[in-house]
Amino acid sequence: MAQVCQITGKRRNVGMNVSHSHIRTKKRSDPNLHVKRFWVAGENRWVRLRVSTHGLRIINKRGIEAVLRDLRARGEHV
């Protein structure tokens, strides 16, 4: 399962840990993702989305129906 937010497109970030002696090792930062169910009153059903916390803030601000409309416009199956 891909670690990608369905709303914002946030995904894993890869960077380097740099020690005092300047030895570099790879590290990765995962987005803060949650699988959430949202009730869509217009469709009278639940929708499950994998969203980051930033995506949750977008849903709170714009509303789930507007966000779903944008997801479907870019061709994502919801």
Query: pLDDT digit string (tens) for 26-59?
Result: 999 999 999 999 999 999 999 999 999 999 999 9
Q: Which pLDDT value is given to residue 1? A: 63
pLDDT, tens digit, 9 for 90 and up, residues 4-25:
999 999 999 999 999 999 999 9
Q: Give dist(CA 60, CA 52) in Å, integer.
A: 13
Q: Is the pLDDT of residue 68 over 70?
A: yes
Q: Output phi, psi for 73, to 5 deg.
A: -65, -30
Q: In the chain, what are the domains?
A: 13-73 (2.30.170.40)
Q: What is the pLDDT of residue 78?
A: 87
pTM: 0.85
Average pLDDT of the segment spanning 53-75: 97
